[in-house]
Amino acid sequence: MPRRLTLLCVPATAALRAGRFPADDGLDADNLVQLAGWAGKPGRPDRVLCSPMACARDTARALGLPVTVEDALREVDYGRWRGRSLKEIGAAEPDALAAWLSDPEMNAHGGESLAAVIDRAGLWLSRCEPGHTLAVTHASVIRAIVVHALGAGAQAGMRLDVAPLTLTTLSGHDAAWRVTSVAAQPY
């Protein structure tokens, strides 16, 4: 049976706007203003799933969507870098930051490598139910899902931009997925 997947990228939290690695940050007043005009834009899905992170749950709540939390849609675990700025990490751990920016297998920060996120996202994608699923999640997870669906190498995910509050869509039949759009602005 056919499957349709719409991925809604959460808004940029204050931490992300400040150049910090995300922790479990909720949305702020600016984000809620951004979401005000979003009612109905993701369509009428058969089910709505979201990351367990506060910003994803807040996004779904702001859109009035009844959701089921799905752990596989969680943000990357950035380990000891969580909540710290790129500038701070660059000064304290320049070699580790350079490795992270070039090697998707790197997890020297004590968290999750980008390659591991692709594996996690791929496993979740293989279990995606028939019908239309809307998933409220993070740019990093959306990149991982697209890379997995395309059968591209992990390095490809490092060259893919997914902006906040954009929609990425895929269609699937059996085990095969097609990427319909990436980081599209809704009408």
Please state the domain extents for the chain.
Answer: 3-184
Dihedral over Cα of 25, 181, 99, 107: its sign = positive
**Arithmetic mean of pLDDT, 77-105:** 94
pLDDT 10s digits, 133-163: 999 999 999 999 999 999 999 999 889 999 9
What pLDDT is stored for residue 44 in this prediction? Answer: 85
**Alpha helices (H) in the chain, listed in sequence order:** 14-17, 29-35, 54-62, 86-92, 94-102, 114-126, 139-150
**Arithmetic mean of pLDDT, 123-129:** 95
- Position 1 pLDDT exceeds 80: no
Structure-token match 């807040």, residue found: 58
- Position 39 pLDDT exceeds 90: no
**Arithmetic mean of pLDDT, 21-45:** 86
**Distance of alpha carbon 64 from its chain centroid, rounded?**
20
- Position 187 pLDDT exceeds 80: no
To the question of domain 3-184 being in CATH 3.40.50.1240, the answer is yes
What pLDDT is stored for residue 158 in this prediction? Answer: 87
What pLDDT is stored for residue 172 in this prediction? Answer: 93
Q: What are phi and psi of 54, to 5 degrees?
A: -55, -45
Q: Is residue 136 classed as helix, strand or coil in its secondary structure?
A: strand
Give percent above pLDDT 70 in the chain.
99
What pLDDT is stored for residue 33 in this prediction? Answer: 87
Confidence bin at 37 (pLDDT 50/70/90): confident
Given a contact cutoff of 8 angstroms between Cβ atoms, the answer to whether 7 and 125 are in contact is no
Q: Output the average pLDDT for the chain.
A: 93
- Identify the CA nearest to 38 among candidates 63, 61, 60: 63
